[in-house]
Amino acid sequence: MAAEQSANELFRPRSQKTDGQVVAMRPSLTHFQQVTRKLVRNKLAMVGFTLIVLMVLMALIGPHLVPYSYSDQSLLTANQELSAEHWFGTDELGRDMFSRTWYGARISLIIGITAALIDLVIGVTVGGIAGYMAGRGKRGDRIDTIIMRLIEVLYGLPYLLVVIMLMVVMEPGIVTIIIALSATGWTGMARLVRGQILQLKNQEFIMAAQVLGAKFPRILLRHLIPNTIGVIIVNLTFTIPSAIFAESFLSFLGLGVQAPIASWGTMTNDALGVILTGDWWRLFFPALMISLTMFAFNVFGDGLQDALDPRIRE
């Protein structure tokens, strides 16, 4: 009995909190946790992230913070400097710049995000099919070749020229811009995904899935795409700002959204006309917002890329 008791005392389970080797071990992290940790520690990326959140928030509530809509004209209060009534001043038609600026944010974000998502869907599907089909017999190779030729041709076309053409042909408006941007924009994503899939598909786990009888859509959705998701997301964070840029570029040229809808591009263009009168706020706010948005998405994308790169360790 005594021996048993002492044995029980001897083999008391160790308390979790005690010092020693157990604590010195690093808690194991999932891939996702590692990535978020690296990302959160990257100050610049977090600045970008905060800016993106703020921008989305202001796009949602900004226009409602003031009692003026983006298109309310009032010639009595035209060309006013910043004041308690008009936080960002007014333009030559007396429209409130604060309301217009955030309405423009709405337009930019809607176009940027929608265009990027369409690019994502088309790009991943086409790139995925091309990558998977390559090297599976004559028929598969032919499908891959056809897709790649198409992409090569589209990729070789001067992107903005084609978008400008499409904008000239179609009715101006938000939907048109999105269609025009995604008509050629998906090729980058498709190339990227195809390359990734080509690399992945000869690895053992794909072979194992095939041996177990998994069908192509299942392999694509469950195995190939989850493994390329990092690169895809990084690409997405760079497509959004370039779509936003393209929208302001087109609107600046007069081919984008039409008056009275406010967009940062049209606002910049309007500001050019009054540049000599010294109404600095007309140029300042849209210019600042475009630049901040481009900055935010780019630094966040950079940070994400670094965080997902397994070669960069802390």
Partner 1 sequence: MARYLLKRILMMIVTLWIIVTLTFSLMHMIPGDPFASESDQLPEQILLNLRAKYHLDEPLPMQYLSYLKSLAMLDLGPSIKSETRGVNDMIKDGFGSSALIGMQAIAVALFFGLIFGIIAALNRNTWIDYMAMVMAVLGIAVPSFIMAPLLINYLAIKLPLFPVATLASWKHSVLPSLALAFGPLAIITRYMRTSMIEVMNQNYIRTAEAKGIPTFLIVVRHGIRNAILPVVTFLGPLVAGLLTGTFVVEKIFAVPGVGKYFVDGIFNRDYPVILGTTVFYSAILVLIIFLIDLAYMFIDPRIKLSGRGR
Site stretch for partner 1 (CB under 8 A), options 92-100, 108-116, 118-126, 159-167: 159-167
Instruction: For residue 155, list its beta bridge partners.
Output: none
Closer residue to partner 1 (CB): 111 or 219: 111
Tokens 């008056």 locate to: 259
Residue 281 interacting with partner 1 (CB under 8 A): no
Q: Give min distance, CB of 65 to partner 1, in A.
A: 25
Task: Name, in order, each residue with C-beta under 8 angstroms of 103's C-beta and a sequence gap of 6 or more.
Answer: 62, 63, 70, 261, 262
Site stretch for partner 1 (CB under 8 A), options 52-60, 106-114, 213-221, 269-277: 269-277
- DSSP SS3 for 86: coil
| Euclidean distance between CA atoms 94 and 91, whole angstroms | 5
Tokens 């604060």 locate to: 98
C-alpha gyration radius of the chain: 27
Site stretch for partner 1 (CB under 8 A), options 9-17, 108-116, 153-161, 210-218: 153-161
Closer residue to partner 1 (CB): 220 or 262: 262
Query: How far, CA to CA in Å, does 282 sit from each of 38, 67, 68, 222, 258?
Result: 39, 20, 17, 50, 18
Residue type, 240: I
Binding residues for partner 1, how many (CB under 8 A)?
A: 37
- 60, 78, 161, 208: which one binds partner 1 (CB under 8 A): 161
- Scan residues 202-261 and list those touching partner 1 (CB under 8 A): 245, 248-249, 252-255
- Scan residues 109-148 and list those touching partner 1 (CB under 8 A): none
| Euclidean distance between CA atoms 140 and 154, whole angstroms | 21
Residue 313 interacting with partner 1 (CB under 8 A): no
- 6, 272, 309, 312: which one binds partner 1 (CB under 8 A): 272
- 1, 3, 211, 276: which one binds partner 1 (CB under 8 A): 276
Helical spans, DSSP H, in the chain? 2-10, 21-24, 31-41, 43-65, 97-133, 137-156, 159-169, 174-200, 204-211, 216-218, 225-253, 264-273, 280-308
- 157, 175, 207, 259: which one binds partner 1 (CB under 8 A): 157
Residue 82 interacting with partner 1 (CB under 8 A): no
Residue 153 interacting with partner 1 (CB under 8 A): yes
Instruction: For residue 96, list its beta bridge partners.
Output: 90
Closer residue to partner 1 (CB): 90 or 268: 268
Task: Give the count of beta carbons closer than 10 Å to the beta carbon of residue 207.
Answer: 11
Residue 159 interacting with partner 1 (CB under 8 A): yes
Residue 271 interacting with partner 1 (CB under 8 A): yes
Q: Are 38 and 314 in contact (CB under 8 A)?
A: yes
Task: Name the site residues for partner 1 (rule: CB under 8 A).
Answer: 152-153, 156-162, 164-166, 168-169, 245, 248-249, 252-255, 265, 268, 271-272, 275-276, 280, 283, 287, 290-292, 294-295, 298-299
